[in-house]
Chains A and B, each alone.
Chain A
Amino acid sequence: DVVLTQSPLSLPVTLGQPASISCRSSQRLVHNDGNAYLNWFQQRPGQSPRRLIYQVSNRDSGVPDRFTGSGSGTNFTLKISRVEAEDVAIYSCMQGTFWPYTFGQGTKLEIK
Chain B
Amino acid sequence: EVQLVESGGGLVQPGGSLRLSCAASGFSFSSYWMNWVRQAPGKGLEWVASIKGDGTQKSYVDSVKGRFTISRDNANNSLFLQMNSLRAEDTALYYCTRDGRNSDSWGQGILVTVSS
Using a Cβ cutoff of 8 Å, how many contacts connect chains A and B? 57
Contacting residue for A94 out of B45, B105, B108, CB 8 A: B45
Q: Is there a chain B Cβ closer than 8 Å to A69's Cβ? A: no
A: number of interface residues (CB 8 Å): 23
Contact B45 A92 (CB under 8 A): yes
How far is the CB of A78 from the nearest CB of chain B, in Å? 15
- Which partner residue on chain A sits nearest B49 by CB separation? A100
How far is the CB of B107 from the nearest CB of chain A, in Å? 7
Among B13-21, B73-81, B83-91, B94-102, the stretch that binds chain A is B94-102
A-B contact list, 26 entries, CB within 8 Å: A37-B101, A41-B103, A48-B106, A48-B107, A48-B108, A48-B109, A49-B45, A51-B102, A51-B105, A54-B102, A54-B104, A94-B45, A94-B103, A96-B101, A96-B102, A97-B101, A99-B50, A99-B59, A100-B47, A100-B60, A101-B50, A102-B47, A103-B44, A103-B45, A103-B47, A106-B44
